[in-house]
Structure 1
């Protein structure tokens, strides 16, 4: 399994390197800079604080103390459920985000956190390079997430069957990145 993860990372990096070396300009004249999220000087939690539709996850990172990992030297990919995904949970979300015991909320966030800096383009390239059209990656909690493509959209599913789709532009801050998701990767 470790070889599979290494292969995914190497394929993603290699495809970006090849694309960067093409020297060509897209037909529409754009530089493509907006399409690739690059690490920024502002921390990821600070970017999430200012991001529309990601306030719930921004607050959850602070409440649980998980925001501190983004201040270190490691890099992470946060699959960030949008506010609408939390709202769709109704009372369950209120109990999860409004309670005094943050253990369940921290566990949920760890199920959405992947070690390493992976852009949507990296994940897309890994899906394209796979033999079966899917790629699995472990989260910091040890759960295995599976990424697939449905048309142009990238979907991710958790072992319990919950699914979400990438939605909107990735946010890169410090040495980490957040990819907005349409859902929560845990049945609650």
Structure 2
């Protein structure tokens, strides 16, 4: 984040130098450079610096799923904390090992909801639901069920695995990550 003012200054200086040479096209380049430099960081970029979410940040990168968060679409990532990945176990580190990341990509997509949905939105939907639960489809096609006990929201996958919301959401670009205590669909 600290690099943004320096980056903007360097880009602006270069664009201004071009403007002296080429007029209107340089002004367009300057406007585009300023817009790019001031654009909010994407969710994967923000997760790089979020405490306890390094494993999911790395998983987004190695699978290529991170590119989905760099566009204009909004998503909600139910982000398993580092401890959740450790507890899920991957003794041979197969999911993060170089090579085919198909299984990891599928696992990550099971944790992504289309659209930006906050914990407050989910709370409101649960309150409005006659049975106290809300079901949403993940990008992986899984039907995730959200319930609440007291102030704790729990998400449950079809295989019975579940996790609780844990901590403040992380916002990046037009998307949001909600830290959760477990990895869903571990089977």
Query: Which position in structure 2 is the counterpart of 1:121?
Result: 120
CA RMSD of aligned residues (A): 1.3
Relative contact order, higher structure (CA 8 A, sep 6+): 1
1:70 match: 69
Cα distance in 2, alignment partners of residues 79 and 99 from structure 1: 24
Is the contact between residue 87 and residue 93 of structure 1 (CA under 8 Å) also seen in structure 2?
A: no
After superposition, residues 73-152 of structure 1 pair within 5 angstroms as: 73-92=72-91, 94-152=93-151
- The SS at the match of 1:142 is coil
**C-alpha deviations, 1:23-62, integer Å up to 9, x for none?**
xxxxxxxxxxxxxxxxx81210111000010000000000
Distance change (3 Å), C-alpha of 1:56 and 1:93: farther
The aligned residue for residue 153 of structure 1 is 152
Which structure 1 segments of 5+ residues have no match? 1-39
Aligned counterpart, 1:49: 48
Shift in alpha-carbon separation, 1:93–1:130, aligned structure 2, 3 A: farther
Measured in 2, the distance between the counterparts of 1:135 and 1:93 equals 36
Aligned to 2:176, the other structure's residue is in SS state strand
TM-score by length of 1: 0.76
Please list the CA deviations of residues 52-111 of structure 1 after superposition, one character each: whole Å capped at 9, or x if unmatched. 100000000000000001111110000000000010123357221225210000000000
Helix, strand or coil at the partner of 1:146: strand
**Cα distance in 2 between the residues matched to 1:176 and 1:53:** 18
> Partner of 1:182 in structure 2?
181
Structure 1 pair 115–108 and aligned structure 2 pair: CA distance change class (3 A): same
Rounded to whole Å, the distance in 1 between the matches of 2:53 and 2:76 is 15
SS of structure 2 residue aligned to 1:98: coil
Q: 1:93 to 1:118 in 2, by over 3 A?
A: farther
Q: Confirm or deny: 8 A CA contact 2:88 2:186 kept in the other structure.
A: no
Distance in 2, matches of 1:100 and 1:180, equals 27
Q: Which is greater in Rg?
A: 2
Could you tell me how far apart the structure 1 residues matched to 2:94 and 2:126 are? 36
| Count of residue correspondences | 149
